[in-house]
Amino acid sequence: MGEHVESRPTDETALPVVHLRRPRWGDPATPGQLPAAAAALVGGDNPVDTGTDPDDVTLDDPAIPAAARSALVDALGEANVTADHRQRIDHTRGYSTPDILALRSGDASDAPDLVVTPGSHDDVLRILQICATHRVAVVPFTGGTSVVGGLTPDRVGFVGVVSVDLCRLDDLVEIDEISRTATLQAGVRGVRAEELLRARGYTLGHFPQSYAGAGIGGYAATRSAGQSSAGYGRFDEIVEGLTLATPRGTIVVGTAPRSAAGPDLRQLVLGSEGAFGIITEVTVRIRPTPEYRLFEGWRFDDFDSGAAALRTLAQDGPMPTVLRLSDEVETAINLADPDAAGTDADATAAGGVLVVVGYEGRHEEAEMRRVAARRVLENAGGTCLGTGPGEAWRAGRFRGPYLRDPLLDVGVLVETLETVTYWSRLGDLKASVTAALTDALTAAGTPPLVMCHISHVYPAGASLYFTVVCPQADDPIAQWKAAKGAANDAIRAAGAGITHHHAVGRDHRDAYHAEIGELALEALRAVKQTLDPDGVCNPGIML
Amino acid sequence: MGEHVESRPTDETALPVVHLRRPRWGDPATPGQLPAAAAALVGGDNPVDTGTDPDDVTLDDPAIPAAARSALVDALGEANVTADHRQRIDHTRGYSTPDILALRSGDASDAPDLVVTPGSHDDVLRILQICATHRVAVVPFTGGTSVVGGLTPDRVGFVGVVSVDLCRLDDLVEIDEISRTATLQAGVRGVRAEELLRARGYTLGHFPQSYAGAGIGGYAATRSAGQSSAGYGRFDEIVEGLTLATPRGTIVVGTAPRSAAGPDLRQLVLGSEGAFGIITEVTVRIRPTPEYRLFEGWRFDDFDSGAAALRTLAQDGPMPTVLRLSDEVETAINLADPDAAGTDADATAAGGVLVVVGYEGRHEEAEMRRVAARRVLENAGGTCLGTGPGEAWRAGRFRGPYLRDPLLDVGVLVETLETVTYWSRLGDLKASVTAALTDALTAAGTPPLVMCHISHVYPAGASLYFTVVCPQADDPIAQWKAAKGAANDAIRAAGAGITHHHAVGRDHRDAYHAEIGELALEALRAVKQTLDPDGVCNPGIML
């Protein structure tokens, strides 16, 4: 069993780098299509409406004062300062469903005034100083895939907004094969990072669902977690060092892999979402390209018994590389295999829940883990379904976001949210968030389908990721806002985390403040005040 | 092979709780004794001088204003506010060699004016408010084992110093067996924590060399790392939540095991060394009491080949529970087995270096790791010496600090320091620190023996722990200060971390500031200013 990667050149992580063109996801050459079964399920005979063509959306004239613009041009050169219509559109907001709906409706009111493309860390410092001087808000941009409003700063009190696209900071700076670390510029996209590292025989192993678009700086600023977090760790766990440009200068953190010297400053920069400055360089752990890769499906009778099996693996080992559990609804809809969504999942999983377990690594070591994990899963009541459902998930792992556009086209609302808690509270949290979403959307006359999966496990707890599908109401943005508010309240009431891997942005800001409390918030604001005294760094995001 | 722990009730981690009586280490009933071989080596015929009896040391009258003292008595009760001579002595400074030498010479000038013993988190809040009002400096105290001056605050600008001994915060608050977490009050000593958890079938697995004295709050405040860090993780890695009392109120962190909600505030409290307030409660990961435990010795030809073997295990696995490598000098002196120090190490290791590898856990899983690790160690050129040297290290693992007192008694200076860096720089760092220590002490007319070991490994790097032994000069405190300064300079020049697990305290403060840079330092000071506007929390420590 197991597969030698060398014999399979069509690795699904070896995608082309895609520059997303809003509002739709992915490469325009291969648009998302609704599987027939899914179309039949959700309303395939509705009229198709793809919304306003973004080229026809009206934008306000750039509000940046001439002095600020010319200072930026002086610093970066004319070619790296633009107010081009398409550029401004493609840097407007992120990829949450409300973001997409707003742009589809022709609302680009949050478009940045300018898009600038620095070529170096020093360029970023210059941009920050110019913007601080002129009171221009600054939004850092790598892949632009935020789903929490992380690219939509407050404009109040600022003369304009500049999107700082790090696309020119696209290099592998250094690779240390002895220490197994690589230093990447923050603008390197995830796909490109894999390409650069693969050429040297390594992988970063970080594959979030946003992989087609997202970049290193965004991973770090938002504490991204990839689908292989069980094996490779969350992004905040694989960062060894960071360089942060602030309006007051540069901070470099990560002198050593671990230290007892004061607070861990890496963990202050990670998750800072542009509020303290712009991350320009990240040193990460790398691993040898896996020589073995095998994904299996397992069936459990219900969510609780599947979750118990995942917990045993997380607490007692061995840890697979990928470990996820779809609940009964998601299993029935077969969302674990987006290309087949709406068909019945593997027949043998029917009526139960599907667990996908993946193993990657050196051949002997990964095979040993697989054998040991198999015993745990069997003892926990699981039935192995073979590699079929596992490989189907793997092949379709980045297709999920492509389904959303055609669903929105036919009047279906689809959105996701996620949370995290300790194992002892997981069942109650799942029940209360599901109820909150169901009740809110049913009360609005649009009863939803609520699916849930566990995709990230830790010894002490796990994440819950919800997918919600329902008919769009007349005002789908308000419709989702109410449902999301109800879910947030349920999460807060359960004492769970307001986000596991989507960050705070604007959308989670109030809930986040309630979660950490006023005094901790004041401490973070004091950090911001120190590094960004004029408050121009992504204002209104997180803090 | 392997041992069932049940059959061995005399687990060396099941020690009695010791309340250290300064200046000597450990239980006065079992004082440290110098092995005969060590005595012969270092000067066993020198006159024995144990220094001034601490009961005869002169203390200044407590400088605390009457109003502050009576406010503390009102808040805590008369029994919990004391200026008793012995109490003040036992809360004076920590356990670095300079600290011990100072007290042995009769210098107790850093003694706190009062020792107070809060019985609750709210008591701690009251103490902080009273001390802020009266400008009294506050030192948190659990085990009092700092070796970096963490218990020696600046007095300038304050009317006095209060040591807040958390010994009454000594409870297991809650155990969550589903999530495998335990919440402990910060005053629980490490030994007591194991006792409380063992009764429920669990272990914390945190065994620093200070284990006989240190406590949970100190572990958290200083980012302690235990001897089993390879298997159980550093203390900062096993903390899930913390409660911090500050002069401005309470901060609770750790809503969920992992989160993408802003900076990780746990990592701001961990390592804060009392500068932001006093940690009163800590939630930690726990594991089942290991059913298997086996320690082996391995011989490698030299430090570099041994280090390469450790690196392979840290990067490719499997990870043993304990993994340490003594260099040629330490191996020859046999410091891995303190009770036999000065004798030749296991003859088969002679001329080479000794690696100690320990495995703990579930029987089958630990045995599997052992088999796989054995293959890695053999492939890397190691020769297994059997369980003898491993078990000798294990049996003596907490004896090291007991050797220091009898060495000081006979005029030998002994002190340790540690650092951490990436694997690619480890060899150069070891050479330059060794040279710095050797040159500085040789120039002072006291050529030293410098030993080194690796005791904590990570995928990207490892710690280096140095032990220095030489004859005492006329002013041994100044003698060590010069040597330590030279070592710090070498560490800084190598770009390594100023401390891996001893924290910053006063002793590393300047080097720490140089390491993180002025802007990061300002950010941390802004946090302190927010939480402790009067600056009474362990002033001069870390910041």
Could you report the per-residue pLDDT of B476-489, keeping only the tens digit for each?
999 999 999 999 99
Q: How many angstroms separate the CA of residue A480 from the nearest CA in chain B?
A: 21
Q: How many angstroms separate the CA of residue B267 from the nearest CA in chain A?
A: 5
Average confidence (pLDDT) over B321-345:
82
CB of B12 closer than 8 Å to CB of B295: no
Q: Which residues of B touch A181 (CB under 8 A)?
A: 422, 460
- Minimum-distance CB partner of A530 among B258, B512, B526: B526
Reported as a pLDDT band with limits 50, 70 and 90, residue A14 is confident
- Which chain B residue is nearest to residue A533, measuring alpha carbons? B523
Average confidence (pLDDT) over B427-444:
98
Instruction: Express each pLDDT in B173-199 by its tens digit.
Output: 999 999 999 999 999 999 999 999 999
Average confidence (pLDDT) over A314-324:
96
Q: How many angstroms separate the CA of residue A503 from the nearest CA in chain B?
A: 5
Asked whether the beta carbons of residue A499 and residue B261 sit closer than 8 angstroms, the reply is yes
- Which chain B residue is nearest to residue A511, measuring alpha carbons? B261
CB of B246 closer than 8 Å to CB of B537: yes
Instruction: Express each pLDDT in B459-477 by its tens digit.
Output: 999 999 999 999 999 999 9
Average confidence (pLDDT) over A150-170:
97
- CA distance linking residue B431 with residue A323, whole number of Å: 44
Which of B336, B308, B117, B320 minimizes the C-alpha distance to B209?
Answer: B336
Reported as a pLDDT band with limits 50, 70 and 90, residue B7 is very low
Average confidence (pLDDT) over A45-55:
90
Residues in Cβ contact with B431 at an 8 Å cutoff, skipping those fewer than 6 apart = none
Asked whether the beta carbons of residue A224 and residue B260 sit closer than 8 angstroms, the reply is yes
Asked whether the beta carbons of residue B519 and residue A246 sit closer than 8 angstroms, the reply is yes
Q: Which residues of A touch B267 (CB under 8 A)?
A: 263-264, 266-268
- CA distance linking residue A412 with residue A228, whole number of Å: 30
The reply to whether ipTM tops 0.90 is yes
Pairing of strands A160-165, A114-116: parallel
- The pLDDT value recorded for residue A30 is 76
Angle at B248 between CA B242 and CA B249, to 5 degrees: 45
- The pLDDT value recorded for residue B3 is 52
Is pLDDT at A185 greater than 90 in this prediction? yes
Reported as a pLDDT band with limits 50, 70 and 90, residue B222 is very high
Is pLDDT at B128 greater than 60 in this prediction? yes
Give the mutation candidate from A183, A259, A530 for the B interface (greatest B CB count, under 10 A).
A259
- Which chain A residue is nearest to residue B492, measuring alpha carbons? A255
- Minimum-distance CB partner of B260 among A222, A250, A256: A222
What does the radius of gyration of chain B's CA atoms come to, in whole angstroms? 23
- The pLDDT value recorded for residue A3 is 52
- The pLDDT value recorded for residue B398 is 87
Q: How many angstroms separate the CA of residue A323 from the nearest CA in chain B?
A: 16
CB of B421 closer than 8 Å to CB of B427: no
Asked whether the beta carbons of residue A268 and residue B270 sit closer than 8 angstroms, the reply is no
Q: How many angstroms separate the CA of residue B144 from the nearest CA in chain A?
A: 17
Q: How many angstroms separate the CA of residue A198 from the nearest CA in chain B?
A: 18
Query: Among positive and negative, which fits the CA dihedral B498, B499, B503, B505?
Result: negative
What pairs with residue B288 in β-bridges? B202
Share of chain A above pLDDT 90, in %: 86
Asked whether the beta carbons of residue B267 and residue A262 sit closer than 8 angstroms, the reply is no
- Which chain B residue is nearest to residue A270, measuring alpha carbons? B263
- CA distance linking residue A185 with residue A280, whole number of Å: 6
Residues in Cβ contact with B367 at an 8 Å cutoff, skipping those fewer than 6 apart = B1, B2, B292, B359
- CA distance linking residue A102 with residue A99, whole number of Å: 5
Lowest mean pLDDT among A439-448, B207-216, B327-336: B327-336
DSSP 8-state code for residue A497: B
- CA distance linking residue B223 with residue B504, whole number of Å: 10
- Minimum-distance CB partner of B268 among A224, A268, A362: A268
- The pLDDT value recorded for residue A431 is 98
Reported as a pLDDT band with limits 50, 70 and 90, residue B15 is confident
Asked whether the beta carbons of residue B264 and residue A458 sit closer than 8 angstroms, the reply is no
CB of A218 closer than 8 Å to CB of B260: no
Is pLDDT at B8 greater than 50 in this prediction? no
Is pLDDT at A7 greater than 50 in this prediction? no
Q: How many angstroms separate the CA of residue B60 from the nearest CA in chain A?
A: 32
Average confidence (pLDDT) over A16-26:
87
Lowest mean pLDDT among A115-124, B130-139, B331-340: B331-340
Asked whether the beta carbons of residue A255 and residue B531 sit closer than 8 angstroms, the reply is no
- The pLDDT value recorded for residue B12 is 74
Average pLDDT, chain B: 94
Q: How many angstroms separate the CA of residue B24 from the nearest CA in chain A?
A: 25
Asked whether the beta carbons of residue B178 and residue A273 sit closer than 8 angstroms, the reply is no
- Tokens of residue A126, six digits: 């210059």
Share of chain B above pLDDT 90, in %: 86
- CA distance linking residue A287 with residue A240, whole number of Å: 14
Reported as a pLDDT band with limits 50, 70 and 90, residue B348 is low
Q: Which residue has the higher pLDDT, A35 or B149?
A: B149
- The pLDDT value recorded for residue A346 is 59
Reported as a pLDDT band with limits 50, 70 and 90, residue A447 is very high
Asked whether the beta carbons of residue A260 and residue B180 sit closer than 8 angstroms, the reply is no
- Minimum-distance CB partner of A259 among B423, B459, B497: B497
- Minimum-distance CB partner of A499 among B259, B368, B498: B259
- CA distance linking residue B295 with residue B11, whole number of Å: 13
Q: How many angstroms separate the CA of residue A336 from the nearest CA in chain B?
A: 23
B282-314 exposure pattern, b = at least 16 Cβ within 10 A, e = fewer: bbbbbbebbbbbbbbbbbbeebeebbebbbebb
- The pLDDT value recorded for residue B11 is 72
- The pLDDT value recorded for residue B396 is 86
- The pLDDT value recorded for residue B30 is 76
- The pLDDT value recorded for residue A6 is 43
Asked whether the beta carbons of residue B258 and residue A458 sit closer than 8 angstroms, the reply is yes
- CA distance linking residue B139 with residue A45, whole number of Å: 72
Which of B101, B21, B32, B95 minimizes the C-alpha distance to B55?
Answer: B21
Asked whether the beta carbons of residue A315 and residue B495 sit closer than 8 angstroms, the reply is no
Asked whether the beta carbons of residue B261 and residue A503 sit closer than 8 angstroms, the reply is yes
- The pLDDT value recorded for residue B345 is 56
Q: How many angstroms separate the CA of residue B459 from the nearest CA in chain A?
A: 7
- Which chain A residue is nearest to residue B256, measuring alpha carbons? A421
Q: Which residues of A touch B176 (CB under 8 A)?
A: 422, 424
Is pLDDT at A1 greater than 70 in this prediction? no
Average pLDDT, chain A: 93
pTM above 0.90, yes or no: yes
- Minimum-distance CB partner of B222 among A260, A316, A517: A260
Angle at B310 between CA B306 and CA B312, to 5 degrees: 115
Give the mutation candidate from A183, A255, A363 for the B interface (greatest B CB count, under 10 A).
A255
- Which chain B residue is nearest to residue A264, measuring alpha carbons? B267
Three-state helix/strand/coil letters over A98-112: HHHHHHHCCCCCCCC
Lowest mean pLDDT among A361-365, A371-375, B294-298: A361-365
Instruction: Express each pLDDT in B473-526 by its tens digit.
Output: 999 999 999 999 999 999 999 999 999 999 999 999 999 999 999 999 999 999
The helix or strand, by DSSP H or E, that contains position A387, with its residue range, turns out to be helix A387-395
Instruction: Express each pLDDT in A83-108 by its tens digit.
Output: 999 999 999 999 999 999 999 999 99
Average confidence (pLDDT) over A418-439:
98
Pairing of strands B172-176, A412-422: unpaired
Is pLDDT at B5 greater than 70 in this prediction? no
- The pLDDT value recorded for residue A204 is 97
Locus of tokens 């050593």:
A256
Is pLDDT at A28 greater than 80 in this prediction? no
CA distances for B266 relative to A80, A236, B215, B293, B368, angstroms: 40, 14, 18, 32, 34
Instruction: Express each pLDDT in B27-84 by its tens digit.
Output: 777 777 877 777 776 666 788 999 999 999 999 999 999 999 999 999 999 999 999 9
Lowest mean pLDDT among A45-59, A87-101, A481-495: A45-59
Average confidence (pLDDT) over B435-457:
97
Pairing of strands A461-471, A412-422: antiparallel
Reported as a pLDDT band with limits 50, 70 and 90, residue A8 is very low
Asked whether the beta carbons of residue A260 and residue B251 sit closer than 8 angstroms, the reply is no
Q: Which residues of A touch B374 (CB under 8 A)?
A: none
- The pLDDT value recorded for residue A210 is 93
Asked whether the beta carbons of residue B249 and residue A368 sit closer than 8 angstroms, the reply is no
- The pLDDT value recorded for residue A469 is 95
- Minimum-distance CB partner of B523 among A463, A512, A531: A531
